[in-house]
Amino acid sequence: MIRFENVTKEYIEDKIAVDHINLDIKDGEFFVFIGPSGCGKTTTLKMINRLISLTDGTIYIKERPISDYDIHELRYNIGYVLQQIALFPHMTIEENIAIVPEMKKWSKEEIYNRTTELLEMVGLDPASYRTRKPEELSGGEQQRVGVVRALAANPSIILMDEPFSALDPLSRQKLQQDISNLQKKIKKTIVFVTHDMQEAIALGDRICLMQDGEIVQCDTPENILKNPETDFVRDFLESGNIVTPQLTPNDVFVRDLVERDFFLPYKKNDGEATISLDETVETLVKRLANEHIIPVMDEKKQMVGAISAQHVMKFMAEELAGGHKQ
């Protein structure tokens, strides 16, 4: 889907932001760039839709160099979600969502139906939210609108540049869950930038860790946790309080997380696999390697909530800080 071939960005002489990177991002993949400030992750993201020009090398989308695309054609087919949200305050929510579809000459009926579909998809009642202005929404609601606006014209690629970092922890965690669930439905190619390793692990199919404009390690979350390739990767994991699966004790159970409030309220979807309170956290971690969030059922088969990888990592970080229970 997206291929980087010896891509370099040099802002001024001897100031290289991105240094000869080679990378393939697969169709339908949730791909995360992460690293410290100034590592080149946002520059790399913005080169995909030509917000920042390349100095050298080539980026391909569907095996076609991005330089061959008309700039409007390129950007109309790439959704973009910013940290700052950037909704137009004088427009209604529907008008904000309709910007790109209108540029693509969609009919009013098509735009109306698409707005309805997208608002429902992110849990915002169309009848209630369609005519509101951004100032009437919470930060989390505004960011949901920002996400669906990026999806409005049904692009094949979504770029997300630290979209949740300005939100409070609860809103951020809820949006991480929502975007994870949304991706299962829409199966878009999402390229996501964050500085938060817990967020990267909770969301990414693969994580690309960058340092000084270079790729240090690019792999699945599970493999990065189990096999950090350099001291930099290991230190970055530790700085984010990341707990590797090997540290998960066999005598800790899902019930322990729930009793310590390491879960989110959740409405189970039909056919969705669950886990019981009496399963071990070791089993939970193995499940979370393939599922972003898992609903939890009690002994009466009643929904308790849902647990993500982020919940497990926070729980285990507390366990390690205080010593494992014996």
- The pLDDT assigned to 325 comes to 40
What residues pair up with 208 in beta bridges, in sequence order?
33, 218
Burial of 185 per CB tally in 10 Å (0-12, 13-18, 19+) = exposed
Q: Which amino acid is at 287?
A: R
Q: Would you state the structure tokens that stand for residue 96, as one six-digit string?
A: 């904000």
Determine the pLDDT at residue 251: 67
* 234 and 288 both lie in a single domain: no
Q: Are 32 and 174 contained in the same domain?
A: yes
What secondary structure does DSSP assign to 63-85, as a single string?
TEEGGGS-HHHHHHTEEEEETT-
Give me the helices (H) in the chain, please: 41-48, 71-76, 93-97, 99-103, 108-121, 126-129, 139-151, 169-186, 197-203, 221-226, 231-239, 254-259, 281-288, 309-322
Whichever domain contains 275, its CATH number is 3.90.1280.20
- In this structure, the strands spanning 56-61 and 30-34 are unpaired
Residues 118 and 263 occupy one common structural domain: no
- Can you tell me the distance from the alpha carbon of 307 to that of 288, in angstroms, rounded to the nearest whole number? 9
The per-residue pLDDT for 116 is 95
Q: Which residues contact 237 (CB under 8 A, 6 or more apart)?
A: 197, 224, 225, 228, 244
Same domain (yes/no): 211, 266 = no
Residues 272 and 286 in one domain: yes
Distance of alpha carbon 217 from alpha carbon 10, whole angstroms: 22
Is residue 252 within 8 A of residue 259, CB to CB? The reply is: no
End position of a domain, from candidates 239, 266, 293 = 239
Our CA angle for 273, 31, 53, nearest 5°, is: 160
Q: Note the pLDDT of residue 237.
A: 83
Is 195 in the same domain as 288? no
Give the count of domains, the chain: 2
Q: What is the pLDDT along the chain (326 residues), one digit of tens a residue?
A: 999 999 999 987 778 999 999 999 999 999 999 999 899 999 999 999 999 999 999 999 999 999 999 998 899 899 999 877 778 999 999 999 999 999 889 999 999 999 999 999 888 999 999 999 999 999 889 989 999 999 999 999 999 999 888 787 777 878 888 888 888 888 999 999 998 888 888 889 999 999 999 999 999 988 888 888 999 998 888 776 454 444 445 568 899 889 888 888 887 777 788 999 999 888 888 788 777 789 999 888 889 999 988 788 777 766 655 544 43
pLDDT of the residue at 244? 46
Q: Does 104 share its domain with 194?
A: yes
Q: Name every residue whose Cβ is closer than 8 Å to that of residue 127 and which is 6 or more positions away in sequence.
A: none
pLDDT at 230: 93
Q: Please tell me whether residues 84 and 228 are part of one structural domain.
A: yes
Do residue 224 and residue 250 come from a single domain?
A: no
Domain-ending residue, one of 239, 262, 280: 239
Q: In the prediction, which pLDDT does 236 show?
A: 87
Cα separation values, 257 from 101, 198, 263, 264, 317, Å: 44, 17, 7, 11, 12
**Contact (Cβ atoms closer than 8 angstroms) between residue 257 and residue 307:** yes
CA-CA-CA-CA torsion sign (199, 181, 138, 151): positive
Selection from 133, 120, 135, 118 nearest residue 79 by Cα? 118
- Are 198 and 56 found together in one domain? yes
| C-alpha distance from residue 132 to each of 90, 297, 300 (Å) | 10, 37, 41
Distance between CA atoms of 240 and 219, rounded to whole angstroms? 18
3-state secondary structure 262-298: CCECCCCCCCCCCEECCCEHHHHHHHHCCCCEEEEEC
Q: Which of 193, 217, 239 is the last residue of a domain?
A: 239
Same domain, 169 and 271: no
Quick one: 85 and 171 in the same domain? yes
CA atoms within 13 Å, Cβ hemisphere of 66: 27
CATH number at residue 9: 3.40.50.300
User: Which two structure tokens, joined as six digits, stand for 22?
Assistant: 């080679």
pTM listed for this prediction: 0.74
Q: Which domain holds residue 311?
A: 245-322
